[in-house]
Amino acid sequence: MPFARSQNIQSDSPIPFPGFEVRLLDPADAATDARLLAELAAGQSGALAELYRRRGSALLGLLTRILGDDREAEEALQDTFVQLWRRAGSYDAASAGPFTWMVMIARGLALDRLRRRNRQAAALDEYRISTGIPEVDDRFARIVEEESSGRVSQALSLLPAEQREAIELAFWRGCTQEEIARDTRTPLGTIKARIRRGMLALRHKLKERHG
């Protein structure tokens, strides 16, 4: 396991927090990641293999979570590491930690795929409606998705439901503020406030446990 610390935050927190396993990157790990990105930027392709060894599994977990499809997640993982190789020179340590930077690249690529898929699904729905073809029974797929979603939502379960929902929609689904407001039938200002409170609460817990 490449991450140095892994511990359970106790439920004596003012926020309900049943068994959320919090893992934080060790500063030494972050330094190693940063060094590997610097080597990559300098043209040392060998650093990419080391990054893959260190972060491939975590990023694949992220991609699988967003895409819900193992094969597509692997394709996105390939895209991610090629992008890391291409863009390593643009990494700015002042604006994000190396792992966060990698995560946001992977997430962006996954969300692009998700949006393409949604557009195709919308087009298919439109076609179904126009042609009268009945919708395919995808109950089993939904069950799998709900299971996966339930497992993941555990990670955010320390937050009030409305804050968790806003953050999940934003991070995992790539929804904009406006889309979240529309989908949840909530004023935009309220969505922003929920995100702020949720993010600060998470930060508070992390600082409390690892600061």
Partner 1 sequence: MDSAVKTFDLITEEEASLYVLELLPPDEVRRFGRRLEGDASLRELVRELQGNIDSLVLAQPFRPAPLHVWGRIATEVKEAETRTIPFPVRFGTWGLRLLAAAACLALGAFLQSRRGPLVYLERALPEAPRAAGPLVEVARQGPIALPEPASPTPHEAPANSLAPVTEPGVVLEAIRLQEQVRVLASQVAALNQVLTRQVQPVSLPAGVTRLQVFRLANTNTPATSRAEAETRSWPDTLAALATGQSASTRHPSDSVALESGAEPRELEREKVAGNEVAANGADPATPSNGRLLNEAQPIGFYDEETGRGAIALLNATPSAQQNFVVWSQTAGADGSAVLQNVGATSADASSTVISFNAPTTSAGTPNFFVTLEPADGTAGSAVPTGPVVALPPQP
Draw the binding track, 79-108, toward partner 1 (x: CB under 8 A; -: no contact): --xx--xx-------xxxx-xx--xx---x
In the complex with partner 1, the residue whose CB is nearer, 97 or 160, is 97
Choosing from 7, 8, 11, 57, the residue that interacts with partner 1 (CB under 8 A) is 57
Considering the rule CB under 8 A, would residue 188 count as an interface residue with partner 1? no
Cα gap 178→175, rounded to integer Å: 8
- The helix (run of H) or strand (run of E) holding residue 120 is helix 98-131
Which CB, 85 or 117, lies closer to partner 1?
85
Question: Given candidates 67, 114, 156, 181, which one binds partner 1 under the rule CB under 8 A?
Answer: 156
Give percent helix, percent strand, percent coil of the chain, each to the nearest 5.
70, 5, 25
Binding string to partner 1 for residues 21 to 50, with x set by CB under 8 A, is what?
A: xxxxx-----------------x-x--xx-
Structure tokens at 100: 């966060």
13 close to 158: Cβ distance less than 8 angstroms = yes
Q: Is 183 a residue that touches partner 1 (CB under 8 A)?
A: no
**Shortest distance, position 138 Cβ to partner 1, whole Å:** 23
Structure tokens at 98: 């190396």
Is the Cβ–Cβ distance between 195 and 13 less than 8 Å? no
Contact (CB, 8 A) for 66 and 175? no
Q: Smaller CB distance to partner 1: residue 77 or 114?
A: 77
